[in-house]
Amino acid sequence: MSRVALVTGGSRGIGEAISRALQAAGYSVAATYAGNDEKAAAFTAATGIKTYKWNVADYEASAAGIAQVEADLGPVEIVVANAGITRDAAFHKMTPDMWNDVVATNLTGVFNTVHPVWPGMRERGFGRVIVISSINGQKGQMGQVNYAATKAGDLGIVKSLAQEGARKGITANAICPGYIGTEMVRAIPEKVLNEVIIPQIPAGRLGEPEEIARCVTFLASDDSGFINGSTISANGAQFVV
């Protein structure tokens, strides 16, 4: 029977590409979304991948949603914590709500997504935790004190989980995408994107969601068991660590 993969924020953007790639690799995929019913329905119609609606910032909703996924498809053995939001503003204009929303989704949301599946992974002696962090968690970014803090925090989560899970056959790794051609990046003021950001990318272009999805299928594989606690940077050489 195929392994079950859960992808949060899995019906749009990078998450959609991840869901599709995991399905193509033979996994049984469940994709979550937070609000866009229309897009989720279109995604399911196009792919046959079932979607589930919950807010990753809400622990109880996450635990109940994951229980439903497991009742429908079987135990979650691959979890991709991908759901994330931006609330960009210069720090002097950043409100507490902008801080709290981003922390709740991008950082606490990872805890809420992984924590409910962790005991089952430990019991079964197998698990793959893949967290989608960001280049901006590695290097910082003007306008993103909130986002960069959460994405750096996600790296701390992964490095710690890797050490806790290794003896139980569980790996935890992060992917740090650079600027990928999704709605989130297209929301950056056009002049800033074209005149400031793209010229900073030695590859001379935005990344494609599929380029991140391929990193996920690689890490999800049964053969990737010794890769643990690592970070894959996929950013067109914009930031080299």
Q: Which residues 46-105 are close enough to bind ligand CAA by CB under 6 A?
A: 86, 88-90
Using CB positions, name the residue nearest to ligand CAA.
Answer: 143
Compare residues 65 and 236 and give the one whose CB is closer to ligand CAA: 236
* Residue of 22, 135, 172, 219 interacting with ligand CAA (CB under 6 A): 135
DSSP code string of 159-209 = HHHHHHHGGGTEEEEEEEE-SBSSHHHHTS-HHHIIIIIGGG-TTSSPBPH
Question: In the bound complex, what is the minimum distance in angstroms from residue 135's beta carbon to ligand CAA?
Answer: 5
**Site map 183..212 versus ligand CAA, x via CB under 6 A:** -xx--xx--x---xx---------------
Token pair, residue 7, equals: 């992808």
SS3 76: strand
Compare residues 14 and 76 and give the one whose CB is closer to ligand CAA: 14
CB neighbour burial string for 198-227, b if at least 16 within 10 angstroms, e if fewer: beebeeeebbebebbbbbbbbbbeeebeee
Question: In the bound complex, what is the minimum distance in angstroms from residue 93's beta carbon to ligand CAA?
Answer: 6
> Active-site positions?
147
